[in-house]
Every structure is written in C-alpha cells, then in structure tokens.
Structure 1
Amino acid sequence: MKKVRITQVKGTIHTQPKHRANIAALGLHGIGTSNEIELNPAIQGMINAVRFLIKVEEI
C-alpha cells in the first residue's frame, strides 16, 4: 500500500471534538508532530475530515 507522512500544522483549540479525536487517532499530539501511515479508506476519511489542520505528503 501507499504510505503518507501526515504533519499537524494547526492547533486543535476551538475545533470540534470529533476533529480532535481524528487528530489523536492519526497519532498526532501537537503542532509540528508527524506520523507515517499506510493509506487505506479509513485513514483517507480521517485525513479528509481534518485536512485544514494537517499537511499530507506521499512517501
């Protein structure tokens, strides 16, 4: 499968609880943290929900 690097670029203050939960599920805990994840439909859905808080790069 394809891998992507996800980096959090904005904070989660004043966001909806489901957005905070998605950020945590993606393995991010603060601005500037990154995680490499294999892309599947579930992960793609989480990325789409919080696309305004993160930066995604293909590896």
Structure 2
Amino acid sequence: MASQLKVTQVKSKYGAKPEQRDTLRSLGLRRIGQTVIKDDNQVNRGYVNTVRHLVKVEEI
C-alpha cells in the first residue's frame, strides 16, 4: 500500500501570498485545524513544500 500524508493547517492563510492561498485550496484546506489525507507523491510533496510554514505534515 502506498504511503500517505496527513496534512493539517496550523496557521492562517491571511497575509500569505496568493500562490500560497491557491496551494492550500488545491490541498483541500479551508480553515485552521482542518486535516486532509493525501497520497504521498511528487505533486503533493511540492504543494506541502510551498506552504510548509502554514501546515503540519505526518506520514501515515
């Protein structure tokens, strides 16, 4: 089974650059404390890297 990433938004998107806000939206995150499960692949790793200061990531 492929590994997955558990991504939780821990900081507000307000004050972030528009590209970072769009990335949070692409990940499916809308509010602080919301968690989503994503497949661990290059695309999602890139998204997480872009907003690494706004999210907490765990491998599951």
**TM-based fold match above 0.5:** yes
TM-score (structure 1 length as normaliser): 0.96
* SS, match of residue 49 in structure 2: helix
Equivalent in the alignment of 1:27: 28
What are the superposed Cα offsets for residues 32-59 of structure 1, whole Å, 9 maximum, x if unpaired? Answer: 0000010110110010000000000111
Q: Distance in 1 between matches of 2:38 and 2:46?
A: 13
Stretches of structure 2 that go unaligned for 5 or more consecutive residues are none
Q: Distance in 2 between matches of 1:14 and 1:51?
A: 15
Question: 4+ residue runs of structure 1 moved beyond 2 angstroms?
Answer: none
Equivalent pairs, count: 59
Over aligned residue pairs, what C-alpha RMSD do you find? 0.6
Identity value in percent: 37
Stretches of structure 1 that go unaligned for 5 or more consecutive residues are none
